[in-house]
Amino acid sequence: MSQRINEKLSILADAAKYDVSCASSGSYRKNTKDGLGNSQGMGICHTYTQDGRCVSLLKILLTNYCIFDCAYCVSRQSNDVKRAAFTVQEVVDLTINFYKRNYIEGLFLSSGIFKNADYTMERLVRIAKKLRTEHKFNGYIHLKAIPGADDELIHQAGLYADRLSVNLEIPSEKSLKKVAPEKDYPSAYRPMNFLAKSITGYREEKKTLRSTPTFAPGGQSTQLVVGATPEKDYHILHLANSLYQQQQLRRVYYSGYVPISDDQRLPVLHSPPLIRENRLYQADWLLRSYGFSVDELVDTQHPDLDQEVDPKLGYALRNPEQFPVDVNTAPYELILRIPGIGVKSAQKIVQARQFGKLRSEHLQKIGIVWKRARYFLTTVDPDFRWLGFHPEHLRQRILSEQTRPKYSPQLSLFG
């Protein structure tokens, strides 16, 4: 039996790997005394792929048979690939046994559309239900909400899963229509809006009635493919921002298009646009945790993020009048905007300055990226900035100082 499962696993994990979401964070589910597993909010990466991506969940397709023919997708109907399908029990066994060995935080289950949306969604739900009820599994479950599936099925999915996601994939409806003739935006937004409403509804109810069941406590996420269609970063970030605001998504993932397809409808790329993908993640981070607005990061004059410098540095260089910031007096929000200072360092600075004035030596020991930050801040030390603050000079200087190759394929997100 093992060999057959082995083959299925290699096909169906391979087919699921272009979905970049892997988070097991943001949900809190306690274990029961006789149960298996829990999820604790922060998430754990149990290993990392050869390309440095986090492996947290068993991420597989239930099947890669699909009635759709989306140009960007390996599992599209017209593509000549090996097909396979797991049974419900096989997915359950794999999840439980991997989890018991501490390989994974839980299951990420997606699927090609076989027969129709309801039929597919019903099976995804059945697996989650079996894990939760028969196996008392309290680890993390991420399910795809299949566009076009009945509201009641999506609702049930929310009762068993920690997180649900509907992938928009292509960042504009016009482009989507070109590459995925069977898809459109309204059918993707419909389950998203339904979920947004249910999540808020259940959360409100839980405040007054504690026995209210949890409903997708990890919220919902989506994925946008970058570089397969002509949208600018301006467009992508505005779309992401509206998804955060309107649908209250927890995360938007950006997937640099990996040229897997020789489909005529898509551009020919030599390698995935990894730097652009990384800049988008950095910008996304600034939106969610650093109090930046989209308009501060991209505008019609600069519709794409600067590939050479990260978006926070880019913002500082475009807005020289806002700097330098005095770390001894400025509010936290402004300190957070200094390139080279992250959330943790900013908090430390605000705490430490209550004990006395900060000098540059203190800042260096606190762990800020001094090489970067020094141009944008002042301390009680005399200021020897002989260069003055001319953005173009500064830009050249910082770029020439970067010791590491600027274009290492995948940069750290939090650097």
Partner 1 sequence: MVYTYDGSFDGLLSVIFESYRLKTSAEEIVEESCFQPGLFGKPTFVSTNQVHSKRVKQGVRKRCGEQTTETLYHVFLSEQPQIEMLIYRFVRLAVASTENVMSNFREPIVLKIHRIQKQIHREVHRMHAFVRFQQTKDNLYAALVNPDFNVLPLLPPHFTQRYPMFRWLIYDTKRNYGLYYEPASDSKESQSPSIRFVTLDSSSPQHLSPQLLTDAEQDYQSLWQTYFHSVNIPERRNDKLHIQHVPRRYWKYLVEKQDNH
CB of 356 to partner 1, least distance (A): 6
Question: Is residue 108 part of the contact set for partner 1 (CB under 8 A)?
Answer: no
Q: Which amino acid is at 52?
A: G
Q: What token pair was written down for 162?
A: 């920690």
d(CA 372, CA 395): 11
Site size toward partner 1, by CB under 8 A = 60
Residue 35 sits in the site that holds partner 1 (CB under 8 A): yes
Among 41, 81, 103, 322, binds partner 1 (CB under 8 A): 103
Applying CB under 8 A, which of residues 66, 74, 94, 179 lies at the interface with partner 1?
Answer: 94
Cα gap 58→47, rounded to integer Å: 11
Helix (H) or strand (E) holding 144: strand 140-144
Q: Does 349 bind partner 1 (CB under 8 A)?
A: yes
Site track for partner 1 across 266-295, x = CB under 8 A:
-----xx-x---------------------
> What is d(CA 159, CA 212) in angstroms, rounded to the nearest whole number?
11
Pairing outcome for strands 39-40 and 28-29: antiparallel
User: How many Å apart are CA 158 and CA 181, to the nearest integer?
Assistant: 28
b/e 249-259 (16+ beta carbons within 10 angstroms → b): bbbbbbbbbbe
Please say which residue, 39 or 247, places its beta carbon nearer to partner 1. 39
Region near partner 1 per CB under 8 A, out of 10-18, 67-75, 116-124, 332-340: 10-18
Tokens of 343: 């959330």
201 forms part of the interface with partner 1 (CB under 8 A): no
**How far is Cα 246 from Cα 196, in angstroms, rounded to an integer?**
9
Rounded Cα–Cα distance for residues 108 and 121 (Å): 14
**Taking a C-beta distance cutoff of 8 angstroms, is the pair 305, 317 a contact?**
no
Per CB under 8 A, 133 contacts partner 1: no
Q: How far is the CB of 301 from partner 1 (least distance, A)?
A: 32
Q: Using the rule CB under 8 A, is 227 a contact of partner 1? A: no
Distance, CA of 187 to CA of 191 (rounded, Å): 7
Does 67 contact partner 1 by CB under 8 A?
Answer: no
Identified binder of partner 1 from the candidate list 23, 71, 258, 305, rule CB under 8 A: 258
We find the least distance from the C-beta atom of residue 64 to partner 1, in angstroms, to be: 12
Give the Cα separation of 70 and 147 in Å (integer).
Answer: 14
Specify the amino acid at residue 123: R
Q: Which of 250, 251, 348, 374 binds partner 1 (CB under 8 A)?
A: 348
Rounded to the nearest whole angstrom, what is the least distance from the CB of residue 367 to partner 1 in the complex? 9
Residue 34 binds partner 1 (CB under 8 A): yes
Angle subtended by helix axes 311-318 and 391-401, to nearest 10: 150
Site string for partner 1, 179-198 (x = CB under 8 A): --------------------
Q: Does 128 bind partner 1 (CB under 8 A)?
A: no
- By CB under 8 A, name the binding residues for partner 1: 2, 5-6, 9-11, 13-14, 16-18, 30-31, 33-38, 44-55, 58-59, 94, 97-98, 100-103, 258-259, 271-272, 274, 348-349, 351-352, 354-356, 358, 362, 365-366, 408-410, 412
